[in-house]
Structure 1
Amino acid sequence: MNLPSVLLIWFLFLVYQQVNATSTMDSLLYDAVHNNLDHIIELKQLIEKHVNENIEFQRKLMDNSHESIELKAKDQQIELLTKLNEDLRNNIAKMNDFQNYTINKQKIETENAIKYHDDLKSQIQQLQKNEENYKKRLKQKSKSQSAIEENLNREIEKLKIEVSSLKNKLQESQTQSANKTKILENNFLQLNQTVKNVIESKENITKTVCKDLLWKTHAIQIIGIDHFNTLCNGDIEEACWIAIYSRFDDSLDFNRTWSDYCNGFGNIRKEFFIGLEKLYRITNSQTYELYVKIGYFNESYGFASYDHFKIGDENTKYELQSLGEFTGTASEVMNYHLHPKFSTFDEDNDLATDINCAAKYGAWWHNDCGEFQINGKWYYTQVKSVQMFIRPECQNY
């Protein structure tokens, strides 16, 4: 193997290494290497041509001096190899420059492509966000529009109902207007009747006074309840007293319910109680005095008089609201029971915390199971008889 062939193989090996080192380059780098290989092939052909010429030249100079031919041939080979080596270096330098340029260009293009890809990705994400926001706004707008339509429909229905109602009211008003004169006349007649009733009630109230009625029944009419009969007593000083309570022979059971004491019970000519509701109505119509006559077992009597007797209504449990000033020969025990509510065995309104005073001592305005026990068991009482009367205070009759 001669020297040109060795150099050619060496050059091809270098080119092969360069091709392998840049095998990952793109198609542009591959084309450049391919063009250089074409150039090298041309160089190879040129070298082969010179080799053939050299062989021909050697054949022609066979007759000349062997040493002179070898020297000339070597000089030519050295010159040719020097030229080839220089061309090879230039080509390699060009290839390196082109490779560096291509790599830098590819790097820049890759960076630009990555940046462009990132920009596109960012734009796509922004577009997706904008799309979501638009969908949300569109959905909200749809909901809002639906709500507005529903509100409008409700308002329309309300207006229809109001219009219908106004039509009905207009018809009713027309009907009422047609009867207005008659209604006014009826109201006027009712008003006149009410005035008459008030006047009659006032006259009936004044008739509650038992003046000049000695032991006779007397009809009393108070506003709010039906008229009722009571007994007038003329034996007491100055007369005019209305009997409200009488107990003297234990012929009547006074251990009664709340309802009995509210409505009253008994016979007004025997033992009886007028009733808390009637007593409330009477004592609230004007100022009344209270007279209590007490009979003892030793056949003696005592009395207790109060100048302003008044009780409350059922809402207050018929509270003993007022007694006024006391005069009399009996012991004063009523003021101890002032302001408590009325109690019965089935309606415990007393102030005692551990006992129902009415269940043990009888119905009364119990404070704390006090001393006045006229409605208890007859054999437990300290008196033989008790009668109670009321009348309007002296200046009112």
Structure 2
Amino acid sequence: MTEDNGGWIVFQRRFDGSTDFYRNWTAYTNGFGDIDAEFYLGNQIIFEITKDENVELRVDLVDKTGESGYAKYSYFSISGPEDFYRLYVNGYSGNAGDSLMYHSGQRFTTFDEDNDLLASNNCAEMYHGAWWYQSCHHSNLNGEYGNDDYGSGPNWYHWRGHYYALNSTRMMIRVRRY
């Protein structure tokens, strides 16, 4: 991708709801979807890319009116499968607000692999997604497309709130340039 001087590897893209993101642990480990349409690259591949490099993250968001926002993090990585693909992120900049730092240090959760901090429920089941949920989220980009119910659709709390399902999302990484 050419945004922000290029070099980006897209690992998550949503824009029309054609791909169901309410998937199990194995699907999120291995990846799913169509690289030319909506997809998730897979946590194992993301781990392999980020484990030995200084990697940054850019999150591009578009709302229902076509307005765009972004969040960029100067540091991004996830741990391996033995640690449930735990998220590490820091160094926010952008115009969409920081809705990911809340999740830093959290393990990935799906409906069949509950690793969130909410003792009474599974956040992935409650919000129809899969994410690095804490108790539960400030962002949920893998939530149910088009669902404006509280927290259930793809949302970025500090930009459009929990009651707003974003029209498109894209998450991408690249080796940080100094």
**Structures share fold, TM-score greater than 0.5:** yes
Query: Corresponding residue for 2:144?
Result: 377
CA offsets, 1:228-263, max 9 Å, x none?
Answer: xxxxx12x1211111111011000000001000000
> Per the alignment, in what secondary structure is the counterpart of residue 5 of structure 2?
coil
Deviation at 1:375, TM superposition (A): 1.5
- Is 1:389 the counterpart of 2:172 in the alignment? yes
- Given that 1:316 and 1:341 are in contact with CA atoms closer than 8 Å, whether structure 2 keeps it comes out as yes
CA–CA distance in structure 2, aligned partners of residues 379 and 249 of structure 1: 9
Of 243, 253, 257 in structure 1, the residue corresponding to residue 10 of structure 2 is 243
> Per the alignment, in what secondary structure is the counterpart of residue 327 of structure 1?
strand
Letter paired with 1:323: V
- Is 1:311 the counterpart of 2:78 in the alignment? yes
Deviation at 1:371, TM superposition (A): 2.4
- Is 1:358 the counterpart of 2:141 in the alignment? no
CA–CA distance in structure 1, aligned partners of residues 70 and 26 of structure 2: 29
- Given that 2:146 and 2:167 are in contact with CA atoms closer than 8 Å, whether structure 1 keeps it comes out as no
Of 135, 141, 163 in structure 2, the residue corresponding to residue 368 of structure 1 is 135
> Per the alignment, in what secondary structure is the counterpart of residue 379 of structure 1?
coil
Bigger mean CA deviation after superposition, 374-383 or 257-266: 374-383
Letter paired with 1:368: S
Moved over 6 A (4+): none
Query: Corresponding residue for 1:267?
Result: 34
CA–CA distance in structure 2, aligned partners of residues 354 and 291 of structure 1: 33
- Given that 1:295 and 1:385 are in contact with CA atoms closer than 8 Å, whether structure 2 keeps it comes out as yes
- Is 1:326 the counterpart of 2:92 in the alignment? yes
**Higher RCO, 1 vs 2 (CA within 8 Å, ≥6 residues apart):** 2
Q: TM-score if structure 1 supplies the norm length?
A: 0.40
Query: Corresponding residue for 2:160?
Result: none
Query: Corresponding residue for 2:161?
Result: none
CA–CA distance in structure 2, aligned partners of residues 289 and 313 of structure 1: 18
Task: In structure 1, list runs of 5 or more residues that go unmatched.
Answer: 1-232
- Given that 1:258 and 1:346 are in contact with CA atoms closer than 8 Å, whether structure 2 keeps it comes out as yes
CA–CA distance in structure 1, aligned partners of residues 13 and 145 of structure 2: 13
> Identity rate of aligned residues, in percent?
37
CA offsets, 1:148-171, max 9 Å, x none?
Answer: xxxxxxxxxxxxxxxxxxxxxxxx
Deviation at 1:290, TM superposition (A): 0.2
Q: TM-score if structure 2 supplies the norm length?
A: 0.88
The structure with the largest strand share of the pair is: 2
Letter paired with 1:342: F
CA–CA distance in structure 1, aligned partners of residues 92 and 146 of structure 2: 28
Number of residues of Structure 1 aligned to a counterpart in Structure 2? 161
CA offsets, 1:344-380, max 9 Å, x none?
Answer: 0000000001110001211000000112122122122
Query: Corresponding residue for 2:114?
Result: 348
The structure with the largest helix share of the pair is: 1
Task: In structure 2, list runs of 5 or more residues that go unmatched.
Answer: 148-152, 154-163
1:1-397 to 2 correspondence within 5 Å? Answer: 233-234=1-2, 236-320=3-87, 322-361=88-127, 362-380=129-147, 381=153, 382=164, 383-395=166-178
Deviation at 1:324, TM superposition (A): 2.1
